[in-house]
Amino acid sequence: MLGVGIGYRPELREQQLKHGDRIDWFELIADRYVRSVPESMERALPLLERHPLIPHALETSVGTDAPLDEAYCQEVAELVRAVRAPFSSDHLCMTRAGDVELGQLTPLPFTEAAIRRCAANARRVQEILGVPFLLENITYAFAIPSPLGEAEFITRVLTEADCGLLLDLANVFINSQNHRYDPYAFLDALPLERVVQVHLAGGERRGGQWIDSHSQRVDSHPEVWKLLEYVAERSQVRAVLIERDQNFPEEFQEMLEDIDRAKEILHRAHRAAPRPPHRSTLPAWPERPSTPLPTDAHVFQTALARLLVEDGLRKRFFAAPPAVGEELGLGPEQVEALLAVGAGHLNTFAHDLSSKRLSLITKAAPASCRWLQLHKLWHDVSHRFTEEHAPRHSPEFVNRTVRDGFWFLQLLSRVLEERPELRFPLEDILRFERVQLELCSTVAPVETALEFRRAFESRAAPGVEELAAARPLSGPHVRVERFGCDVVELVRRLNAGEATEEVPLKPSLVLFSKAPGFRNVRHLAINERTSALLALCDGSRTTAEIAARLSPGAAGEASAQEVRSCAEVVRRLMELNALTLAVPAN
């Protein structure tokens, strides 16, 4: 019985730790701790001293008509073991199809074939995890024509997979409003005895529709509290999560009040006489044809994914459905199913996909994006990016955000070739951010950074004599770049939203060093002498020999003061994870 928790978010870390006594547990978005760098989960482990940690994955994609990504599941399982989680979860949907990585929870047709596929995948995931696996109900902006209802579909998958339910009550409310059904009747049709965890969140209304934005208090739709009371009286809810992923409140008290209200509801429900779940035994489902429908086919999933991420293709399809359907390998019934979904619904979902993708790019390359926004170029460049770069799987990148960051900066380089008047200072800004992406996303710098840290931590602080006799060694996780302006100050001001007109135009040298931790690349403005010193740190020379090479005096000689000065620079660079000692002094 975990109680009430919230999602661990770096933006809220200080407040979350300060008020940890009022938070029962934390949810970890698993994808931020897998497929990034090996040590990234280390940042979350200290939380275990006071709070249980529960992983919540996003990319299992149990509904995809393709082999399960077992390597991904193994990495989630590693996280589960590392945080000693009693269970883990993901969503009843698909997030990829063909080679398209949608990056969004995409609805499935409610069919017999989809039930079998999802149940088989969920069973396998549960085997890999070694702990109970929960599936979460999602919101859906569009519904694919189906012979079954959503509640029956969810129930069938859960019972055939023998897994638990992560019941998102905000999603139940939003779907009931957007698709016009009774949320309480929907809950009565679910196997509430399988509920392990509940999600609560606040959404927004846009264009007459509710959006699951996780950007408001739960009170933005108070009916969700009543739904929690209803479920808590009929199910042994073990954990409740207050979801908040954006528009974080200035006063953390706002989130604490939501936590306290959820605790009060659970406490009342646990003290009252329990009401039996609506369904105490498995229902007798009527026999239905088991032949896959046209919407179950792999080609249909792939075509749907492409229509959602390729604006031009989607426009052509609705202008000439039979011709473009044939181009996509679709039959008449599959074309009719897509037409039944409707251009409006697909356009809305596609817009949300694009917006989410661009928001992640602003995190991967914040200064470049900010500069484009200030110079009224963001709209054109971002539109061109989504037109030219469909989110297709690229195994050379560790995750979608890094991939899109690289692709976006490559596009900016092409823009500069077309418009050379923009080169200064945008060229420096994008090169600054590209170096950071390169160092945080490739295997060699990550492994080297870990080795350097371990070497530094395992050695007592060296004295001047030891440093002078040792051979400093740099690694591939370290870069020195030359820029045409004070780019460190320029990037700082851009990211802080400050004016950039007074940034010094003098050339600068910047040292980049990959530090252990996801996307943690340190940068430091250095002088020419430090740059020359780093270039000599290949493990073949002692610090004293390097000092001699840098000495302005007689060749091959360095004064004791020059050696001490060089040793202190080496010590500082070791502290920055830029150097280690290849051969310790005797």
pLDDT in tens, 501-532: 888 889 999 999 987 655 578 899 999 999 99
CB proximity list for 228: less than 8 A, separation 6 or greater: 169, 198, 200, 240, 262, 265
Question: What are 289's two structure tokens?
Answer: 């044809």
Strands 100-106 and 133-136: unpaired
Say yes or no: 409 and 458 in one domain.
no
- Model confidence, pTM: 0.88
| Statement: residue 284 has pLDDT above 70 | no
Question: What CATH code is carried by the domain that includes residue 61?
Answer: 3.20.20.150
**DSSP structure string for 411-467:** HHHHHHHH-GGGHHHHHHHHHHHHHHHHHHHSHHHHHHHHHHHHHHHTSPPP-HHHH
Q: What is the mean pLDDT of residues 225-239?
A: 95
Residues 184 and 147 in one domain: yes
Q: What is the pLDDT of residue 586?
A: 42
Contact call for residues 554 and 434 (beta carbons, < 8 A): no
What is the predicted pLDDT for the residue at 555? Answer: 61
Residue percentage of the chain with pLDDT more than 70? 93
Q: For residue 271, give every residue at least 6 positions away whose Cβ sits within 8 Å of its Cβ, in sequence order, or none.
A: none
pLDDT at residue 287 is higher than 60: no
With respect to residue 142, please indicate whether it lies within any of the assigned structural domains: yes
Question: Quick one: pLDDT band at residue 263, thresholds 50, 70, 90?
Answer: very high
Q: How many structural domains comprise the chain?
A: 3
Q: What pLDDT is attached to residue 204?
A: 79
pLDDT surpassing 70 at residue 35 = no
pLDDT tier, 137 (very low <50, low <70, confident <90, very high otherwise): very high
- By DSSP bridging, strand 209-216 and strand 133-136 are unpaired
Task: Count other Cβ atoms within 10 Å, centred on residue 326.
Answer: 13
Cβ–Cβ contacts within 10 Å for residue 509, how many?
A: 17
Among 311-320, 538-547, 550-559, the minimum mean pLDDT is found in 550-559
> Is residue 437, in this structure, part of any structural domain at all?
no
Residues 153 and 243 in one domain: yes
Q: Which two tokens stand for residue 197?
A: 């965890």
Q: Within this chain, do residues 457 and 405 fall inside the same structural domain, yes or no?
A: no
pLDDT of residue 281: 46
The whole-number average pLDDT for the span 23-35 is 89
- The whole-number pLDDT of residue 282 equals 45
Output the CA–CA distances (angstroms, integers) from residue 227 to 24, 136, 167, 255, 339, in the order listed. Answer: 21, 16, 11, 19, 34
SS3 6: strand
- pLDDT at position 280 over 50: no
Does residue 433 lie in a domain region? no
Residue 75 has pLDDT above 80, yes or no: yes
Q: Are residues 307 and 230 in the same domain?
A: no
In this structure, the answer to whether residues 351 and 466 fall within a common structural domain is no
Q: Mean per-residue pLDDT for 69-78?
A: 94
Q: What angle do CA 467, 473, 479 make, to 5 degrees?
A: 125
Higher pLDDT, residue 491 or 281? 491
The single-letter DSSP state of residue 546 is H
Q: Which two tokens stand for residue 162?
A: 């023998």
Asked if residue 283 belongs to a domain, the reply is: no
pLDDT, greater one: 275 or 451: 451
Residue 86 binned pLDDT confidence (cut-offs 50, 70, 90): very high
pLDDT of residue 139: 93
Stretch 562-585: mean pLDDT, rounded? Answer: 87
Whether residue 259 is found in the same domain as residue 305: no
Instruction: For residue 585, name the pLDDT band (cuts at 50, 70, 90).
Output: very low
CA-based angle 342:169:93, to the nearest 5? Answer: 45
Calculate what percentage of the chain has a pLDDT beyond 90: 71
Task: Report CA-CA distances (Å) from 276 to 193, 282, 322, 415, 446.
Answer: 9, 14, 52, 64, 53
Neighbours of 245 (CB within 10 A): 13
In a domain, 136, yes or no: yes
Q: Report the sign of the C-alpha dihedral through residues 456, 460, 465, 466, in that order.
A: negative
| pLDDT at residue 274, rounded to an integer | 67
More confident residue, 175 or 586: 175
b (16+ CB within 10 A) / e for 568-584: ebbbebbebbbbbbbee
Indicate if 169 and 301 belong to the same structural domain: no
Q: Which residue, 185, 172, 195, 113, is CA-closest to 148?
A: 113
Judged against a pLDDT cut of 80, whether residue 442 lies above it is answered with no
Q: Is 548 left (phi over 0), alpha (psi -120 to 50) or beta?
A: alpha
Retrieve residue 317's tokens. 């399809």
Res 331 pLDDT > 90: yes
Name 205's bridge partners. 210
Q: Are residues 144 and 220 in the same domain?
A: yes
Q: Indicate if the pLDDT at residue 44 is higher than 60.
A: yes
Is the pLDDT at 36 greater than 70, yes or no?
Answer: no
The set of residues, in sequence order, having a beta carbon less than 8 Å from that of 237 and lying 6+ positions away, is 195, 196, 197, 198, 231, 266, 269
Q: Which of 133-142, 240-249, 507-516 has the lowest mean pLDDT?
A: 240-249
Provide the β-strand partners of residue 524.
511
pLDDT at 289 over 70: no
User: Around Cβ 552, how many Cβ atoms within 10 Å?
Assistant: 6
Q: Give CA 308 to chain center in angstroms.
A: 20
* Distance, CA of 533 to chain centre: 38
Q: Per the domain annotation, does 102 fall within a domain?
A: yes
The domain boundary, picked from 393, 427, 461, lies at 427
Residue recorded with tokens 């780019």? 487
Cα–Cα distance list, 143 to 67, 114, 385 (Å): 24, 14, 28
Q: Are 183 and 173 in contact (CB under 8 A)?
A: yes
**Mean per-residue pLDDT, 404-409:** 96
- pLDDT at position 551, please? 85
- Whether 584 shows a pLDDT value over 90: the answer reads no
Give the Cβ contact number of residue 313 at 10 Å.
Answer: 16
Contacts of 304 (CB under 8 A, 6+ apart): 97, 106, 338
Q: Give the chain's count of helices (H) and strands (E).
A: 23, 16
Are 423 and 477 part of one and the same domain?
no
In this prediction, residue 39 carries a pLDDT of: 53
Mean pLDDT of the chain: 90
The pLDDT of residue 436 is 92
State the Cα–Cα distance between residues 349 and 341, nearest whole angstrom: 11
Asked if residue 244 has pLDDT above 90, the reply is no
Do 242 and 318 sit in the same domain of this protein? no
pLDDT at 37: 47
Confidence of residue 23 (pLDDT cuts 50, 70, 90): very high
Q: How far apart are CA 415 and CA 405, in angstroms?
A: 15
Task: Please check whether residue 371 is in contact with residue 494, taking contact to mean a CB–CB distance below 8 angstroms.
Answer: yes
- Containing 336, the helix (H) or strand (E) segment is helix 332-341
Which helix (DSSP H) or strand (DSSP E) does residue 184 occupy?
A: helix 183-188
Which pLDDT score is estimated for 521?
Answer: 87
Which residue type, as a one-letter code, is found at position 14?
E
Give the pLDDT of residue 356: 92
Please check the confidence at residue 111 and state whether its pLDDT lies above 70. yes
Helices 298-309/311-319 angle, 10° precision? 110
Distances (CA, A) of 179 to 139, 168, 287, 492: 10, 16, 27, 46
Whole-number CA gyration radius for the chain: 28
**Structure-model confidence comparison of residues 380 and 398, the more confident one:** 380
Range of the structural domain that residue 464 is part of: 452-581
Same domain, 572 and 457: yes
Contact status, residue 144 vs residue 341, Cβ threshold 8 Å:
yes
Residue scoring higher pLDDT (285 or 119):
119
276 or 121, higher pLDDT? 121
| Residue 86, in any domain of the structure | yes
Length of the chain: 586
User: Does any domain span residue 87?
Assistant: yes
